[in-house]
Amino acid sequence: MTVRPIRYLGDPALRKPARKVSRIDDSIRRLIEDMTESMYAAHGVGIAAPQIGVPLRVVVIGLPDEPPFALINPEVTKRSGERRLDEGCLSVPGYRGNITRSVAVAVKALDEHGREIRIRSEDDLLAQALEHEVDHVNGTLYVDHLDSKDDLIKLDAVSARDED
């Protein structure tokens, strides 16, 4: 497993819609391992392949005290409600922003063995991470959801942790 450098805001790799994975093989499973390592090394709770420069629709989510899991070709199948949340991103270090996310989110994807998985989450960090990471494979960053620059907060080095 290899920790790969994270791409930052301004890098075009973050802005291209990623390609669908057509074949789930060992190279995809190695990518998932590298993404997982890179996410933990950067103290994140989620990461998408474009964040390490790989233009594929693969994301990993690793919430505190839970095992990490991968979602391949994830699609949001349902979302409802609105809530205001503070959000961060490994690709936008040192900042958090206050944005609107859904309350409930349903996602369909494949796991690293090609089995279909469906996840539904409501009013929690998982629901937020699902929307955040699916945004990444579509070339969208949370800063795109800011209503105003005033909703972006610069952090000091000590509190800049646990970003997606």
164 binds Ni ion (CB under 5 A): yes
89 binds Ni ion (CB under 5 A): yes
Shorter beta-carbon distance to Ni ion: residue 34 or 164: 164
Mask 23-62, x = binds Ni ion (CB under 5 A)? ----------------------------------------
* 115: Cα separation from own chain's centroid: 20
We find the least distance from the C-beta atom of residue 136 to Ni ion, in angstroms, to be 6
Per CB under 5 A, which region of 59-67, 86-94, 111-119, 148-156 contacts Ni ion? 86-94
Q: Which residues contact 23 (CB under 8 A, 6 or more apart)?
A: none
Q: Which residues contact 157 (CB under 8 A, 6 or more apart)?
A: 94
Question: With the CA atoms of 83, 80, 144 and 42 taken in that order, what torsion angle do they form, in degrees rounded to the nearest 10?
Answer: 70
Of 67, 45, 56, residue with least CA distance to 136: 56
Q: Is 75 a catalytic residue?
A: no
Q: Which residues contact 32 (CB under 8 A, 6 or more apart)?
A: 58, 60, 70, 112
CA distances from 46 to 22, 69, 81, 162 (A): 22, 10, 22, 9
Shorter beta-carbon distance to Ni ion: residue 28 or 92: 92
Per CB under 5 A, which region of 18-26, 78-86, 87-95, 110-118 contacts Ni ion? 87-95
Quick check: 161 and 41 in contact, CB under 8 A? no
We find the least distance from the C-beta atom of residue 49 to Ni ion, in angstroms, to be 12
Identified catalytic residue from 87, 131, 133, 163:
133
Per CB under 5 A, which region of 33-41, 55-63, 88-96, 97-105 contacts Ni ion? 88-96
We find the least distance from the C-beta atom of residue 24 to Ni ion, in angstroms, to be 23
Instruction: Summarize as ranges the residues that interact with Ni ion (CB under 5 A).
Output: 89, 164
Q: What are the catalytic residues?
A: 133
